[in-house]
């Protein structure tokens, strides 16, 4: 019986457990496959740290956030113990015929490199940021948008009561998908995304217009947004394990600037990890389950080097290289449409 290992890597994301469950159920009932889980992302693969994954182990997990396997930003090539030769030995010793990597851009890049180095790898794309080019949507995004929209709705009531400008910072390193969706959904008066720098003057004009109608203006800002005079996205937290600046804090930078220019009392809230945690929406559970089932079919066909993707309403297979290094930005016409309603 063919036996496969599943790992979840990178930032956690609502819907990961639905993928694990979908894979195990489809694999065991339709294809007669067996599964184990690698603990904590690529670390589990490099050190052969596994746990059994049978039908019982995945019972009822789709409704839970996080990942039952644990995750990390451990790179399979970055440690002396890593690398393809070591991993081949681990897989041989544990009698594992192939690996499913569930993760974002960094995870898929590592999976592709391992695949090119002769390891049988397949992938499932994941990120709350929804910024992977290969797929129309990633699971986790819908949950993050719901949470951000709820937070915005709550900020609007307190902002209206105090006639304050409320700035809400959401995640979105390279792309402003969460911000634009939650901004449109909550009727934010300004939404700022990495793809479209806006001047402080313009932002303050919109804020003032909204305030003049007697509203507490709401400014939604993605963490990767930059003012025209900024070289890079705001970061004061050092680097992460992939040597990327840890973002967060642009809302706190903007709030005093807006207050100073407009004279309107302004408060900032950073939503942070709340938008990655908790119960996944039904959409994310369904997409995760479908991705999981589809990746089990990919294994059954021995279609290595492929990942699953949502194209329209269909689940398709695409090579890793379609996802790696290609950021899916918010289209400018989408932004322009939202921008027409700012102020």
Q: Which residues are near ligand F6P by CB under 6 A?
A: 11, 127-129, 171-173, 223, 240, 246-247
Q: Identify the active-site residue in 40, 129, 284, 322.
A: 129
157 is in an annotated binding site: no
Q: Is 172 annotated as a binding residue?
A: yes
The dihedral region occupied by 46, where left means phi > 0, alpha psi between -120 and 50, and beta the remainder, is alpha
Q: Which residues pair with 245 in a beta bridge?
A: 239
191 annotated as a binding-site residue: no
Whether 11 has a binding-site annotation, put simply, is yes
- Name the DSSP class of 138: -
Q: Is 164 annotated as a binding residue?
A: yes
Nearer to ligand F6P, 51 or 244 (CB): 244
Measured from the CB of residue 84, what is the shortest distance to ligand F6P in angstroms?
26
Task: Return the number of the residue (40 or 129) whose C-beta is nearest ligand F6P.
Answer: 129
Closest CB to ligand F6P among 23 and 127?
A: 127
Q: For residue 272, what is the enclosing H or E element?
A: none
- Establish whether 129 is a catalytic residue: yes
The least CB distance from residue 219 to ligand F6P, in Å, is: 18
Choice between 166 and 170, CB closer to ligand F6P: 170
Q: What b/e string do you get for 286-299 counting C-beta neighbours within 10 Å, with b at 16 or more?
A: bbbbbbbbbbbbbb
Task: Give the sheet arrangement for strand 190-192, strand by strand.
Answer: 190-192, 218-222, 165-170, 266-270
Q: Output the CA–CA distances (angstroms, integers) from residue 24 to 11, 119, 312, in the order listed.
A: 22, 21, 25
CB of 250 to ligand F6P, least distance (A): 12
Query: From the CB of 16, what's the least distance to ligand F6P, in Å?
Result: 12
What are the distances in angstroms from CA 79 to CA 42, 120, 283? Answer: 11, 20, 37
Token pair belonging to 103: 């993760």
- List residues with catalytic annotation: 129
> Could you tell me which residues are annotated as the binding site?
11, 73-74, 104-107, 127-129, 164, 171-173, 223, 267, 273-276
């Amino acid at each position: 019986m063919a036996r496969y290992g599943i790992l979840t890597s990178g930032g956690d994301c609502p819907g990961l457990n639905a993928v694990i469950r979908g894979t195990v159920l489809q694999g065991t009932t339709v294809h007669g496959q067996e599964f184990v889980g690698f603990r904590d992302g690529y670390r589990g693969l490099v050190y052969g740290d596994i746990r059994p994954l049978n039908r019982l182990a995945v019972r009822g997990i789709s409704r839970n956030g996080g990942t039952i396997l644990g995750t990390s930003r451990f790179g399979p090539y970055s440690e002396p113990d890593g690398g393809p030769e070591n991993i081949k030995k681990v897989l041989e010793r544990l009698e594992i015929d192939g690996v499913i990597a569930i993760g974002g851009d960094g995870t898929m890049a590592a999976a592709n490199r391992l695949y090119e180095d002769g390891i049988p790898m397949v992938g499932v794309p994941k990120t709350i940021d929804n910024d992977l080019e290969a797929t129309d949507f990633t699971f986790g995004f819908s949950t993050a948008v719901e949470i951000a929209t709820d937070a915005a709705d709550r900020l609007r009531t307190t902002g209206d009561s105090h006639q304050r400008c409320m700035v809400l910072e959401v995640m979105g390193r390279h792309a402003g998908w969460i911000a634009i969706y939650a901004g449109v959904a909550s009727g934010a008066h300004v939404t700022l995304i990495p793809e479209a720098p806006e001047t402080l003057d313009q932002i303050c004009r919109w804020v003032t217009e909204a305030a003049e109608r007697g509203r507490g203006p709401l400014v939604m800002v993605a963490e990767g947004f930059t003012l025209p005079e900024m070289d890079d996205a705001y970061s004061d937290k050092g680097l992460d394990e992939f040597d990327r600046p840890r973002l967060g804090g642009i809302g706190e930078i903007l709030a005093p600037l807006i207050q100073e220019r407009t004279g309107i009392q302004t408060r900032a809230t950073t939503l942070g990890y709340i938008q990655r945690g908790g119960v996944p929406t039904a959409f994310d559970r369904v997409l995760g389950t479908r991705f999981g089932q589809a990746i089990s079919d990919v294994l059954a066909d021995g279609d290595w080097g492929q990942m699953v993707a949502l194209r329209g309403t269909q689940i398709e297979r695409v090579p890793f290289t379609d996802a790696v290094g290609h950021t899916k930005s918010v289209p400018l016409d989408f932004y322009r449409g939202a921008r027409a309603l700012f102020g």
